[in-house]
Amino acid sequence: MTTTTTPTFSGTADYLAAPDLTDAVNVAIALEKPLLLKGEPGTGKTRLAEAVAAQLGMKLLSWNIKSTSKAKDGLYVYDTVARLNDARFGDHDVRDIARYIKFGPLGRSFIGDERVVLLIDEIDKADLEFPNDLLHELDRMSFVVDETGETHTAKQRPIVIITSNNEKELPDAFLRRCVFHYISFPDEAQMKAIVKVHHPDVQEQLLQTALLRFYWLRKQPDVRKRPSTSEFIDWIAALMKTGVPLERLEKEIPFVGLLLKKESDVQQLVNMKDTSRGFRM
Amino acid sequence: MFLAFYFQLRAHGLKVSPTEWLSLMEAVARGFDRANLQTFYGLARSLLVKREGHYDAFDRAFAAAFEGVDRAAPITDELLAWLDQPIPMKDLSDDEIAQLKAMDLETLREQLLQRLKEQKERHDGGSHWVGTGGTSPFGQGGRHPQGVKVGDAGGGGRSAVALAGERRYQNLRSDRVLDTRSMGAALRKLRKLAREQGPEELDVDESIDRSAREAEIELVFRPPKKNRVKLLLLFDVGGSMDPYAQLCERLFSAAHQASHFAAKKTYFFHNCVYDRLSTDMQRNIGVPTADVLKDIDATWTVIFVGDAWMSPHELHGDGNYFSYGKSTTPGIEWLRRFAQKARAVAWLNPERPHIWGAPTVRDVRRVVPMFELTLDGLDRAVDHLRGARRVELPG
């Protein structure tokens, strides 16, 4: 199989990746396509990029997208103000425009000598046209700095990982070029394994009971902001530190504020207290 | 079976482009399916489906195409056959066929033949070649195409088809109704930025422009951009709308949280808009509709939310049926007045469109464009309200 010629990702000691996720990563690397990741907050989209970089021994360049991000900023920024300032007060040679070109994360992922992992985080935060503006560069793996006329072509094609939180629909033309993977929320067995990575000495009984409570809470239709993996891990830490007796956990949900971050959700739970399906706090 | 899969995908409404289809074949030719149907399932999904909302349709298509098949090995044979005769895909557009012809099918063929050869040799050598990929082809150990069974090596080894048949992604479908956050995201698109009077701030772009032209540092100040869109929300409550109370409440709180409107107002009505609009339905506190209408001008966007379901005289009659006294203006006429004065109007209906043929719904739709209260519907309504994609009224 030709897969041996391309680097292969299999998950790391502190990042457990489901087989279909590692498959998606490896296909994206082999077919040289960007990997687009979606999923509930806290399912480890951003951390996947870190794990890929760590396992493959590559540098990670992160580009955190904001509502004001422009595709071109990822390639480079031409610092006109610094140049203007130098022209008036400085003693630098302002004729050399290249001095005022600052490369962004996308640009740096192209021009370096080493192959890197490029994380484009939360692409949906930007303008609707933003993903389309990236297409050309991602396809050709080269860009031109208009101000200097220089063309930069990627020496090593970066591994591109893109995350989205679904705030906006992404354009079709963009989606067609990506390998897509939706990270489902971990089931109980997966969650158990994840918790054990963070808290290796957790008591089996405690974990089991806590899992029951946690998934019960997530199933409540009235809970608006469902607790995520990271919140569960914090909650387990609190339970272990304070040594909450198991009997108490079977009847109540202590430290519910670690799981529910919305006043209205906590209120919902209090309301349920009187009914048979609820737990006391 | 391989082509059948393609047609099943299309039949389930998944528009797979030739580029994506070819990517899948390249991946198969390079052995990424590891001759395992479950791996193939994940592989096909990650290359052909780009929205989790389509996962459910994909599952149904997959189950239909691979019913009774328990490994992917025959796929390679079929792929080879297809590469010999690549264009029997009848429903491709000319564009797509051209795209397909431009692709390097020959290389793909060679890759595939190479793989099949390796497979044979290794098999002859006595080792089970598929095993080297780290997975058995028969899904032993309960390997999940989607997830893992970490720490649970037992498991029943359910087939990919059975899993696809479980339809685990049903609730990710994009025609689902929406939650507050996605509603908020959709409403945000209504923004229209414009400069108005107000405290000034430094305009960096203009300052640089001017400075460059004058060769002197010039600082330009002007008022910041502000959103000018004003939103009027009118909710139908009670009666046949009761089942949708929670949904409407979510839309209400999404609009309420939205801080980007220059102004927003919310009123409630029952059945249709008559001469009074309510601010508090329970306590029956209201304002004359005429007063609300007076404040509406071309900077306002009006959204009605309701099922538009009533008896015809409640829409066309003089409105006496409802407690507000001596109305002489029929409900439909009030709707018309809002439609005329506002920048744009839209009606969001929580009912499924297949019952929109009811007489009053039909009549309302002739005055106010109607959209389903789902993620797709709200998006289309917002596009219509922005003027991006106007929806024509039916005759």
d(CA A135, CA B149): 37
Query: Distance of CA B290 to CAs B274, B294, B341, Å?
Result: 10, 6, 12
Q: CA A118: distance to chain centroid?
A: 12
Percent of chain A with pLDDT over 70: 93
Write out chain A residues lying below 8 Å of B254, CB-based.
Answer: none
- The confidence band for B127, taking pLDDT boundaries of 50, 70 and 90, is very low
Q: β-pairing, B221-222 with B225-227?
A: unpaired
- The confidence band for A3, taking pLDDT boundaries of 50, 70 and 90, is very low
The C-alpha of A89 sits at a distance from chain B's nearest C-alpha, in angstroms, of 12
**Residue range B191-247, pLDDT digits in tens:** 655 555 566 778 888 888 888 887 777 888 877 666 677 889 898 887 777 777 777
**Residue range B62-98, pLDDT digits in tens:** 888 887 665 555 566 666 666 665 545 555 666 666 6
A129 touches chain B (CB under 8 A): no
Residue B301's DSSP bridge partners are B231, B344
What are the structural domain ranges in chain B?
A: 2-172, 181-192+229-386, 194-227
Nearest to B90 by CA among B80, B81, B100: B100
d(CA B302, CA A223): 30
A79 touches chain B (CB under 8 A): no
**What is the reported pLDDT for B129?**
37
Residue A188's DSSP bridge partners are none
- The confidence band for A225, taking pLDDT boundaries of 50, 70 and 90, is confident
Span B4-8, mean pLDDT? 83
Q: Residue B276: what residue type?
A: R
User: Would the CB atoms of A20 and B147 count as touching at under 8 Å?
Assistant: yes
**What is the reported pLDDT for A28?**
93
A109 within 8 A of A63, measured Cβ to Cβ: no
A56 within 8 A of A67, measured Cβ to Cβ: no
The C-alpha of B31 sits at a distance from chain A's nearest C-alpha, in angstroms, of 6
Write out chain B residues lying below 8 Å of A189, CB-based.
Answer: 148-152
- The confidence band for A56, taking pLDDT boundaries of 50, 70 and 90, is very high
User: Would the CB atoms of B149 and A16 count as touching at under 8 Å?
Assistant: no
Report ipTM for this prediction: 0.78
User: Would the CB atoms of A168 and B144 count as touching at under 8 Å?
Assistant: no
**What is the reported pLDDT for B46?**
93
Other C-beta atoms closer than 10 Å to the C-beta of B298 total: 9
**Domain A2-183, CATH homologous superfamily name and number:** P-loop containing nucleotide triphosphate hydrolases (3.40.50.300)
B115 touches chain A (CB under 8 A): yes
Q: Which residue does chain A place closest to B146, by CA atoms? A: A20
Write out chain B residues lying below 8 Å of A20, CB-based.
Answer: 39, 42, 46, 144-147
**Is residue B140 scored above 60 in pLDDT?**
no
Size (chain A), residues = 281
Query: Distance of CA A97 to CAs A148, B263, B317, Å?
Result: 7, 47, 74
Q: CA A275: distance to chain centroid?
A: 39
Q: Which helix (H) or strand (E) holds B150?
A: none
Selected residues 176-235 of chain B with any CB under 8 Å from a CB in chain A: 179-180, 182, 185, 208, 211-212, 217
d(CA B167, CA B55): 9
pLDDT top residue among B99 and A248: A248
How many Cα neighbours within 13 Å face the side chain of A51? 19
Percent of chain B with pLDDT over 90: 7
Nearest to B29 by CA among B104, B115, B103: B115
Give rounded-to-5 percent helix, strand, coil for chain B. Answer: 50, 15, 40
B301: CB partners within 8 A, 6+ apart: B190, B229, B230, B231, B232, B342, B343, B344, B345, B385
The mean-pLDDT minimum among A164-168, B99-103, B297-301 falls in B99-103
Residue A121's DSSP bridge partners are A64
| pTM listed for this prediction | 0.61
User: Would the CB atoms of B208 and A84 count as touching at under 8 Å?
Assistant: yes
Span A122-143, mean pLDDT? 85
d(CA B71, CA A195): 34
Nearest to A2 among B20, B31, B185 (CB): B31
Mutate to test the interface with B, among A2, A35, A264 (most CBs of B within 10 A): A2
d(CA A203, CA A125): 40
Q: Which helix (H) or strand (E) holds B125?
A: none
DSSP states of B183-244: HHHHHHTT--EEE-SS--EE-HHHHHHHHHHHTS----EEPPEEE--EEEEEEE-SGGGGGG
Residue that is written with structure tokens 């507000």 in the block: B324
How many Cα neighbours within 13 Å face the side chain of A201? 2
d(CA B25, CA B55): 20
The C-alpha of B23 sits at a distance from chain A's nearest C-alpha, in angstroms, of 8
Write out chain B residues lying below 8 Å of A30, CB-based.
Answer: 27, 30, 32
Span B26-44, mean pLDDT? 84
CATH number belonging to domain B181-192+229-386: 3.40.50.2300
User: Would the CB atoms of B42 and A19 count as touching at under 8 Å?
Assistant: yes
**Is residue A275 scored above 60 in pLDDT?**
no
d(CA B382, CA A93): 51
User: Would the CB atoms of B32 and A23 count as touching at under 8 Å?
Assistant: yes
Q: Residue B158: what residue type?
A: R
User: Would the CB atoms of A16 and B26 count as touching at under 8 Å?
Assistant: no
Greatest mean pLDDT among A79-93, A255-269, B299-313: B299-313
What are the structural domain ranges in chain A?
A: 2-183, 188-272
Q: What phi and psi, each to the nearest 5 degrees, are found at residue B28? A: -65, -45
**Is residue A269 scored above 70 in pLDDT?**
yes
**Residue range B145-187, pLDDT digits in tens:** 333 322 333 333 446 666 666 666 655 554 444 566 666 666 7
Other C-beta atoms closer than 10 Å to the C-beta of A257 total: 11
**Is residue B382 scored above 80 in pLDDT?**
yes
- The confidence band for B345, taking pLDDT boundaries of 50, 70 and 90, is very high
Selected residues 48-67 of chain A with any CB under 8 Å from a CB in chain B: none
- Kindly report the average pLDDT of chain B as a whole number: 72
d(CA A187, CA B149): 9
How many Cα neighbours within 13 Å face the side chain of B145? 31
Residue A64's DSSP bridge partners are A121
Other C-beta atoms closer than 10 Å to the C-beta of B307 total: 24
Q: Residue B153: what residue type?
A: A
Instruction: Please tell me whether residue B349 adopts helix, strand or coil conformation.
Output: strand
d(CA B189, CA B381): 11
- Kindly report the average pLDDT of chain A as a whole number: 84
A106 within 8 A of A74, measured Cβ to Cβ: yes
d(CA A124, CA B71): 37
**Is residue B1 scored above 70 in pLDDT?**
no
Query: Distance of CA B118 to CAs B123, B125, B328, Å?
Result: 8, 11, 85
B151 touches chain A (CB under 8 A): yes
d(CA B262, CA A10): 51
d(CA B72, CA B36): 5
d(CA B334, CA B340): 10
The C-alpha of A115 sits at a distance from chain B's nearest C-alpha, in angstroms, of 22
Write out chain A residues lying below 8 Å of B55, CB-based.
Answer: 182
